[in-house]
Amino acid sequence: MLYIDSISKGIVIDHIKAGYGFSIFKYLGLEKADFTVALIMNVPSRKFGRKDLIKIENNIDIDLAMLGFIDPNITVNIIQDEKIIDKINLSLPEKVEGIIQCKNPRCVTSNERDIVHKFTLIDEEKGIYKCEYCDQIYSWEG
């Protein structure tokens, strides 16, 4: 296995579904980072077979709700002095705003552009969301 130096301070995004690391890397804008970042792909994992991993040698703000919506199985580790001081297990967020669009042509969000699309999680197991304005269903497919 590839040897990667452990980081002293920063964030490790773990348990990313294999193949999704690059899009999360890009979503977080890490290709433009001026600090040390590493995207490690296809790491053997007991839990998932293969996984991707992102190491960030910096404390950056991450939208955990958005990340949980992209992949609820992700774990975010906060590192300080080379130790994990916090481990955050993501899940599908209760509410998502401005991420997915309501497909109902009669919904108020389809007619008025200034309204933020808002969805509420109604079934966590199946990943089903409901539009807050018209009750249109959105199904999460990860």
Residues making contact with Zn ion (CB under 5 A): 102, 104, 107, 131, 133-134, 136
Residue whose C-alpha is closest to residue 11's, from 87, 92, 90: 87
Write down the least CB distance from residue 23 to Zn ion, Å. Answer: 26
Closest to Zn ion by CB, 49 vs 105, is 105
Closest to Zn ion by CB, 4 vs 115, is 115
Closest to Zn ion by CB, 6 vs 139, is 139
Can you tell me the distance from the alpha carbon of 80 to that of 3, in angstroms, rounded to the nearest whole number?
20
* 3-state SS record for 75-102: EEEEEECCEEEEEEECCCCCEEECCCCC
**Cβ-based neighbours of 12, under 8 Å, separated by 6 or more:** 53, 54, 55, 56, 76, 77, 79, 84
Write down the least CB distance from residue 116 to Zn ion, Å. Answer: 11
Write down the least CB distance from residue 71 to Zn ion, Å. Answer: 25
Closest to Zn ion by CB, 45 vs 127, is 127
Write down the least CB distance from residue 142 to Zn ion, Å. Answer: 22
